[in-house]
Amino acid sequence: MIPKVRPKSERKKVLELYLAKKHLKSTKQRDIIFDEFFNHPGQHITVEELYEKVKKQYPKIGYATIYRTLKLFKECGLAFERNFGDGKTRYEPVKFEGEHHDHMICVGCGRIIEFENQRIEYYSREVARLNGFEVLNHKLELYGYCGSCREKKKEGANNL
Amino acid sequence: MIPKVRPKSERKKVLELYLAKKHLKSTKQRDIIFDEFFNHPGQHITVEELYEKVKKQYPKIGYATIYRTLKLFKECGLAFERNFGDGKTRYEPVKFEGEHHDHMICVGCGRIIEFENQRIEYYSREVARLNGFEVLNHKLELYGYCGSCREKKKEGANNL
DNA sequence: ATTCATGCAAAATGTTTGCAGCTGT
DNA sequence: ACAGCTGCAAACATTTTGCATGAAT
């Protein structure tokens, strides 16, 4: 079995190797962004959110640097770009094998709930097998209404 | 069991009911956009593409009308918004129950295999229910190798 | 007659780019 | 010294909005 968790240092190493290979440079800004992005919570962070977090540590940071650095993380396979339909691109650390999770997205308030379900994973592989298909990765997103938005819908039903 | 196919007229009826309920109006533009969007192929259409198609039938159409009409379709549950990361929002007709299909995408040759699996759908709803979530739609994509690409991989193993 | 819809253009939003000066190698 | 990086502002692309006119109820 593949190990469940890969330590921070491994991600850092991936980046360092990539920088070396492409003759890119290691900078203070990249370090801070790396740290904020990988070592602090906040899944599915937007560029703006990350910008604000980094700004606290490094006030003269510019938006462009955040954009460029996230693109860099994406290029070396460390970050994943997502878009849940609110006009903002979100990024999340790429999950290594065993860390996979799926998403429920509330179309009412935009809340994102993460989940993992072994049976869905199992049947996905099963369907694939029946089609001679070998699954490397999958993406599952459920769109609908979260609990509190369902309440709001009920309450407001008369007003429509 | 729920019927597999809902005829065009049913979608039209959903829209008409929604318009009536909200005291909105039926217009020529909405009819044409409806027709282009639901009755002509082209999955995952962009606003620009739809605009160009509608323009052929109704040259003085404006972009804003397309945007507003797609938002209307979305509101009444007929359209679904997607974003594949190229900066353009795409729309597709919402699949009714029994019409839903998921995708296996071969990363070797790009082939897309559609499938439907009731158990996956069942467990998706189940996971949602446990979280107080009401699912309107879902998206499942399996990425991997199709049968023939797996063969090729074996044959070519020496060349890698 | 009233209310809503449309088309246009302007504005807003999110993202990318060009460039002068700065930093890491 | 060189190549790459940064911050800024301007440029871009997409989407939304305000408003006068036109259409549907």
- pLDDT single digits (tens) A17-30: 999 999 999 999 99
Across chain A, what does the average pLDDT equal?
Answer: 85
The pTM of this model reads 0.70
Mean pLDDT for the stretch of residues A99-120: 81
Question: How many angstroms separate the CA of A137 from the C1' of D6?
Answer: 36
A140 touches chain B (CB under 8 A): yes
Instruction: State which amino acid sits at residue B136.
Output: L
CB contact under 8 Å between A146 and B132, yes or no, is yes
Q: What is the pLDDT of residues B14-54, one digit of tens each?
A: 999 999 999 999 999 999 999 999 988 667 899 999 999 99
Residue B7, pLDDT score: 55
Q: Which of residues 112-131 of B touch A (CB under 8 A)?
A: 113, 115, 117, 119-120, 123-124, 127-128, 131
Q: What is the pLDDT of residues A55-77, one digit of tens each?
A: 999 999 999 999 999 999 999 88
| C-alpha span between A92 and B154 (Å, rounded) | 34
CB contact under 8 Å between A142 and B119, yes or no, is no
Residue A108, pLDDT score: 77
Is-contact B79 B100, C-beta < 8 A? no
**Any atom of strand C under 7 A from CB of A27?**
yes
Is-contact A2 A98, C-beta < 8 A? yes
Min distance B19 CA to chain A CA atoms (Å): 12
CB contact under 8 Å between A107 and B142, yes or no, is no
Q: Extract the residue ranges of chain B whose pLDDT is less than 50.
A: 1-5, 159-160
Q: What percent of chain A has pLDDT over 70?
A: 85
Closest C-alpha to B93, from B84, B83, B80: B80
CB contact under 8 Å between B128 and A81, yes or no, is no
CA A148 to chain centre: 24
Closest C-alpha to A14, from A85, A107, A94: A94
Domains of chain A in sequence order: 1-93 (1.10.10.10), 100-160 (3.30.1490.190)
Of B113, B127, B134, which is closest to A131 when you measure between CB atoms?
B113
Q: Which two tokens stand for residue A4?
A: 């469940």
Beta bridge partner(s), residue A113: A104
Closest C-alpha to A53, from A25, A75, A79, A34: A34
Beta bridge partner(s), residue B103: B114, B141
- Between A48-52, A75-79, A89-93, B150-154, the lowest mean confidence (pLDDT) is in B150-154
Nucleotide with C1' nearest the A89 CA: C14
Q: Higher model confidence: residue A134 or residue A41?
A: A134
Return the biggest CA–CA distance within chain A: 63
Q: Which two tokens stand for residue B104?
A: 């296996």
